[in-house]
Amino acid sequence: MNVINPATGNQIETYEDEDITEAKAALDTATDAFDSWRTRPLREREELLSDVADILGERKQKYAELMTREMGKPISQAKAEVEKCEWLCNHYAEHADAYLADEYHPSPAGSAVKTSYEPLGTVLAVMPWNFPFWQVFRFAAPYLTAGNVGILKHASNVPGCALAIEEIFRDAGYPEGVFQSLLLPSSSVEDLLADDRVKAATLTGSGPAGRAIASTAGEHLKKTVLELGGSDPFVVLDDADLDAAAETGAWARNQNGGQSCIAGKRFIVHDAIYDEFIDRLIDEFDALTVGDPMDEDTDVGPQARADLMEELHEQVTESVDAGATVELGGEPLDREGAFYPPTILTDVPEGCPADAEELFGPVASVYRVADEEDAITKANDTEFGLGASIWTEDRERGERLTHEIDAGCVYVNQLVKSDPRVPFGGVKESGYGRELSEIGIQEFVNRKTIWVE
């Protein structure tokens, strides 16, 4: 695996691929580890996770710089990602015992009936490059604390992050085999998932990758959680606070270089305030600093790989050829590295890439709608259903409309985000299952009914 710094185009590191033989040996190690890990007192597993949080806090700068070098995330956002992982670990270190406590049920006199939450075994995680620490800890913190063991197959452009995360768990005192990172090609995933020793799988990634995982897992009757793509609507109604909506909308679309499943991608704006809002949105986009991701003042760094930037630009070009208007940006920057500027498209025709596909970069598609009803219709006019954001000064109106949007999470007067305290996941082509909170830690357990007479 050759790691290319997307800000410079230079190769910075090379890692040796592992093969399926090494992966099978890792499964042996994981299986052995599970036998003792599952019986370790939950309080001890929580304490180890707290130690992981401490290491993340102590090494924040080191791991942030690693992310920035490998996939181009601005350093300030990379540090925030490490901090969020630390928060996540502390959350489950504090609350896992409550989330996994036995649940008692009504029963006949003289009997006791409860549900007990017991681990399944080895969980395979196939994770993406866009949030190379957060996505991994989002599965590892709850699932390992529940008593499972984990095998990570990370994206091929962030192998250093994969090995660093394994190092963190090892340094925190986790037993050998409880968490392992494998530098495998994607072609090995199907064989790994088919192995009887893998009991469940989770994937964050593209629709085709999710279907492949779901198909193989279904054939072998294994539980899966899938978090796939998104084309989140950002609905701005006629009574919205336009300054707040434009400022937050610019960040929702451009954070992490726009490379986020839950980024605000389709801006659906009420006709009564459309012209005023689009002017403010252009100003907010234009004010963002594009530059060296190692600079603390940079808002938007490079795209994670040159080929991803090229694919994004093809989608923009096809949309413009179909009739979309470029209000800002729209061309790769003439500089070293895979830099694409914050871009705004209006007059977006139905069915063009900017309308029908997920644009995984800093490109906003903006639509003018006549009224609230049209706004909801357009928000739901997508195969995806991950998140949505609604902007209105009337909180009751906003809450009412949350029930009319087909998405796994809807935020009113806030950007869509994942938070350890609340469940996260999508519907439709955005996947199934939930991560985080109590529901997340209970996804990969045996909800065992125990009846004692």
User: Which residues are designated catalytic?
Assistant: 227, 261
- Residue 199 CB-half CA count within 13 A: 18
Burial of 161 (0-12, 13-18, 19+ CB in 10 A): buried
- Tell how strand 112-119 and strand 264-270 pair up: unpaired
DSSP 174: P
Which two three-digit tokens encode residue 173?
């005192």
Residue 110 φ/ψ, nearest 5 degrees: 85, 0
Residue 182 φ/ψ, nearest 5 degrees: -115, 125
Residue 254 φ/ψ, nearest 5 degrees: -105, -10
The C-alpha atoms of residue 130 and residue 128 are separated, in whole angstroms, by 6
- Buried b / exposed e over 314-338, threshold 16 CB at 10 Å, is ebbeebbebebebbbbbebeeeebb
The C-alpha atoms of residue 319 and residue 148 are separated, in whole angstroms, by 46
Closest of 447, 421, 450 to residue 434, by C-alpha: 421
